[in-house]
Structure 1
Amino acid sequence: MFVITLTYLKPLSEVEKQLPAHREFLKQGYSAGMLLASGPMIPRTGGIILARGNDKNAILNFLESDPFKKNDIAAYEVVEFDPVLFSDDFAKSI
Protein backbone atom coordinates (compact mmCIF):
# COMPACT_ATOMS: atom_id res chain seq x y z
CA MET A 1 0.00 0.00 0.00
CA PHE A 2 1.16 3.55 -0.67
CA VAL A 3 0.61 7.04 0.65
CA ILE A 4 1.38 9.61 -2.02
CA THR A 5 1.81 13.23 -1.01
CA LEU A 6 1.65 16.02 -3.55
CA THR A 7 3.15 19.38 -2.68
CA TYR A 8 2.09 22.26 -4.87
CA LEU A 9 4.94 24.03 -6.63
CA LYS A 10 2.79 26.75 -8.19
CA PRO A 11 0.14 29.16 -6.88
CA LEU A 12 -3.41 27.87 -6.42
CA SER A 13 -4.48 29.81 -9.49
CA GLU A 14 -2.22 27.54 -11.58
CA VAL A 15 -3.35 24.43 -9.66
CA GLU A 16 -7.00 25.27 -10.40
CA LYS A 17 -6.32 25.46 -14.14
CA GLN A 18 -5.02 21.86 -14.17
CA LEU A 19 -7.42 20.44 -11.56
CA PRO A 20 -10.07 19.09 -14.00
CA ALA A 21 -7.40 17.23 -15.99
CA HIS A 22 -5.79 15.95 -12.78
CA ARG A 23 -9.12 14.58 -11.56
CA GLU A 24 -9.74 12.88 -14.91
CA PHE A 25 -6.30 11.29 -14.57
CA LEU A 26 -7.16 10.07 -11.05
CA LYS A 27 -10.36 8.47 -12.37
CA GLN A 28 -8.17 6.19 -14.49
CA GLY A 29 -6.42 4.99 -11.33
CA TYR A 30 -9.74 4.34 -9.62
CA SER A 31 -11.03 2.43 -12.67
CA ALA A 32 -7.88 0.30 -12.67
CA GLY A 33 -8.38 -0.53 -8.98
CA MET A 34 -5.10 1.17 -8.02
CA LEU A 35 -6.44 4.17 -6.10
CA LEU A 36 -8.47 4.08 -2.89
CA ALA A 37 -8.86 7.74 -1.89
CA SER A 38 -7.59 11.18 -2.84
CA GLY A 39 -8.10 14.78 -1.91
CA PRO A 40 -6.54 18.11 -0.99
CA MET A 41 -4.53 18.73 2.15
CA ILE A 42 -5.87 21.17 4.70
CA PRO A 43 -4.56 23.82 4.48
CA ARG A 44 -4.45 23.51 0.70
CA THR A 45 -0.73 23.13 0.08
CA GLY A 46 -1.01 19.87 -1.84
CA GLY A 47 -2.89 16.60 -1.81
CA ILE A 48 -2.92 13.01 -0.58
CA ILE A 49 -3.55 9.84 -2.57
CA LEU A 50 -3.95 6.37 -1.07
CA ALA A 51 -3.03 3.59 -3.48
CA ARG A 52 -2.85 -0.16 -3.31
CA GLY A 53 -0.40 -2.47 -4.95
CA ASN A 54 2.98 -4.00 -4.28
CA ASP A 55 5.01 -2.45 -7.09
CA LYS A 56 6.30 1.04 -6.33
CA ASN A 57 7.62 1.41 -9.87
CA ALA A 58 4.10 0.85 -11.23
CA ILE A 59 2.84 3.66 -9.00
CA LEU A 60 5.69 5.95 -10.08
CA ASN A 61 5.05 5.17 -13.75
CA PHE A 62 1.35 5.88 -13.32
CA LEU A 63 2.10 9.27 -11.74
CA GLU A 64 4.22 10.29 -14.73
CA SER A 65 0.98 10.75 -16.70
CA ASP A 66 -0.57 13.11 -14.16
CA PRO A 67 -1.14 16.59 -15.64
CA PHE A 68 0.13 18.02 -12.35
CA LYS A 69 3.43 16.21 -12.96
CA LYS A 70 3.60 17.04 -16.67
CA ASN A 71 3.03 20.75 -15.97
CA ASP A 72 5.28 20.99 -12.89
CA ILE A 73 2.30 21.83 -10.68
CA ALA A 74 3.23 19.38 -7.89
CA ALA A 75 6.11 17.39 -6.47
CA TYR A 76 5.41 13.84 -5.32
CA GLU A 77 6.55 11.66 -2.46
CA VAL A 78 5.55 7.99 -2.58
CA VAL A 79 5.76 6.11 0.72
CA GLU A 80 5.17 2.38 0.77
CA PHE A 81 3.81 0.80 3.94
CA ASP A 82 2.46 -2.51 5.17
CA PRO A 83 -0.90 -2.04 6.92
CA VAL A 84 -0.97 -4.48 9.82
CA LEU A 85 -3.91 -3.03 11.76
CA PHE A 86 -7.03 -1.67 10.08
CA SER A 87 -10.81 -1.51 10.38
CA ASP A 88 -13.07 -4.13 8.86
CA ASP A 89 -14.36 -1.54 6.41
CA PHE A 90 -10.83 -0.69 5.31
CA ALA A 91 -9.97 -4.38 4.91
CA LYS A 92 -12.45 -4.54 2.01
CA SER A 93 -10.23 -2.04 0.15
CA ILE A 94 -6.93 -3.84 0.41
Structure 2
Amino acid sequence: MFVLELTYTAPLDAVDAALDAHVAWLDEQFTKGVFLAAGRKNPRDGGVIIAVADDRAQVEEIAAGDPFRTAGLCEYRITEFVARMTAPALEQYRETLG
Protein backbone atom coordinates (compact mmCIF):
# COMPACT_ATOMS: atom_id res chain seq x y z
CA MET A 1 0.00 0.00 0.00
CA PHE A 2 1.14 3.53 -0.67
CA VAL A 3 0.58 7.01 0.71
CA LEU A 4 1.00 9.73 -1.89
CA GLU A 5 1.42 13.19 -0.40
CA LEU A 6 1.07 16.14 -2.74
CA THR A 7 2.48 19.54 -1.87
CA TYR A 8 1.46 22.47 -4.03
CA THR A 9 4.31 24.41 -5.60
CA ALA A 10 2.06 27.00 -7.28
CA PRO A 11 -0.56 29.50 -6.12
CA LEU A 12 -4.06 28.13 -5.40
CA ASP A 13 -5.58 29.95 -8.39
CA ALA A 14 -3.32 27.91 -10.68
CA VAL A 15 -4.21 24.72 -8.77
CA ASP A 16 -7.92 25.54 -9.05
CA ALA A 17 -7.58 26.09 -12.80
CA ALA A 18 -6.34 22.50 -13.19
CA LEU A 19 -8.71 20.98 -10.61
CA ASP A 20 -11.23 19.49 -13.08
CA ALA A 21 -8.47 17.63 -14.93
CA HIS A 22 -6.99 16.43 -11.63
CA VAL A 23 -10.39 15.15 -10.43
CA ALA A 24 -10.92 13.32 -13.75
CA TRP A 25 -7.50 11.67 -13.28
CA LEU A 26 -8.45 10.71 -9.70
CA ASP A 27 -11.77 9.25 -10.92
CA GLU A 28 -9.90 7.14 -13.48
CA GLN A 29 -7.63 5.69 -10.78
CA PHE A 30 -10.58 4.98 -8.47
CA THR A 31 -12.35 3.18 -11.35
CA LYS A 32 -9.22 1.05 -11.92
CA GLY A 33 -9.14 0.16 -8.20
CA VAL A 34 -5.77 1.80 -7.61
CA PHE A 35 -6.90 4.60 -5.30
CA LEU A 36 -8.78 3.86 -2.08
CA ALA A 37 -9.08 7.39 -0.67
CA ALA A 38 -8.06 10.92 -1.65
CA GLY A 39 -8.54 14.43 -0.36
CA ARG A 40 -7.12 17.85 0.41
CA LYS A 41 -4.83 18.54 3.31
CA ASN A 42 -5.96 21.05 5.90
CA PRO A 43 -4.59 23.69 5.62
CA ARG A 44 -4.98 23.49 1.85
CA ASP A 45 -1.37 23.17 0.78
CA GLY A 46 -1.71 19.84 -1.04
CA GLY A 47 -3.45 16.50 -0.79
CA VAL A 48 -3.16 12.87 0.27
CA ILE A 49 -3.97 9.71 -1.68
CA ILE A 50 -4.05 6.12 -0.39
CA ALA A 51 -3.25 3.68 -3.19
CA VAL A 52 -2.71 -0.02 -3.84
CA ALA A 53 -0.51 -1.27 -6.65
CA ASP A 54 1.82 -4.11 -7.58
CA ASP A 55 4.94 -2.05 -6.96
CA ARG A 56 6.38 1.41 -6.44
CA ALA A 57 7.25 1.83 -10.11
CA GLN A 58 3.56 1.53 -11.01
CA VAL A 59 2.60 4.17 -8.43
CA GLU A 60 5.34 6.51 -9.64
CA GLU A 61 4.13 6.12 -13.22
CA ILE A 62 0.54 6.87 -12.19
CA ALA A 63 1.61 9.92 -10.16
CA ALA A 64 3.62 11.20 -13.12
CA GLY A 65 0.36 11.43 -15.08
CA ASP A 66 -1.42 13.67 -12.56
CA PRO A 67 -2.38 16.91 -14.35
CA PHE A 68 -1.21 18.83 -11.26
CA ARG A 69 2.23 17.28 -11.70
CA THR A 70 2.45 17.61 -15.49
CA ALA A 71 1.55 21.30 -15.13
CA GLY A 72 4.26 21.78 -12.49
CA LEU A 73 1.75 22.59 -9.75
CA CYS A 74 2.83 20.05 -7.13
CA GLU A 75 5.51 17.71 -5.90
CA TYR A 76 4.89 14.16 -4.72
CA ARG A 77 6.23 12.25 -1.75
CA ILE A 78 5.44 8.54 -2.06
CA THR A 79 5.67 6.27 0.98
CA GLU A 80 5.21 2.52 0.74
CA PHE A 81 4.02 0.60 3.79
CA VAL A 82 2.86 -2.89 4.71
CA ALA A 83 -0.78 -2.69 5.84
CA ARG A 84 -0.74 -5.48 8.42
CA MET A 85 -3.85 -4.13 10.16
CA THR A 86 -6.93 -2.65 8.48
CA ALA A 87 -10.53 -1.80 9.18
CA PRO A 88 -12.85 -4.67 8.24
CA ALA A 89 -13.89 -2.89 5.05
CA LEU A 90 -10.25 -2.93 3.89
CA GLU A 91 -9.51 -6.51 4.90
CA GLN A 92 -8.73 -7.51 1.31
CA TYR A 93 -5.74 -5.14 1.39
CA ARG A 94 -4.09 -6.61 4.49
CA GLU A 95 -0.54 -7.70 3.88
CA THR A 96 1.93 -9.98 5.55
CA LEU A 97 5.65 -9.44 5.91
CA GLY A 98 7.43 -11.56 3.35
Q: TM-score of the superposition, structure 1-length normalised?
A: 0.94
Distance 1:31 1:87 in 2: 21
Q: TM-score of the superposition, structure 2-length normalised?
A: 0.90
Runs of 4+ residues over 2 Å off in structure 1: none
Deviation of 1:54 after TM superposition, in Å, equals 3.0
Aligned equivalent of 1:73: 73
Opposite residue 14 of structure 1, the aligned amino acid is A
Opposite residue 7 of structure 1, the aligned amino acid is T
Aligned equivalent of 1:3: 3
What residue ranges of structure 2 are gaps of 5+ in the alignment?
Answer: 94-98
What residue ranges of structure 1 are gaps of 5+ in the alignment?
Answer: none
Distance 1:72 1:42 in 2: 21
RMSD: 0.9
Determine what percentage of the aligned residue pairs are the same residue: 32
1:88 aligns with 2:88: yes
Query: Which is bigger in relative contact order (C-alpha 8 A, separation at least 6)?
Result: 1
Aligned equivalent of 1:37: 37
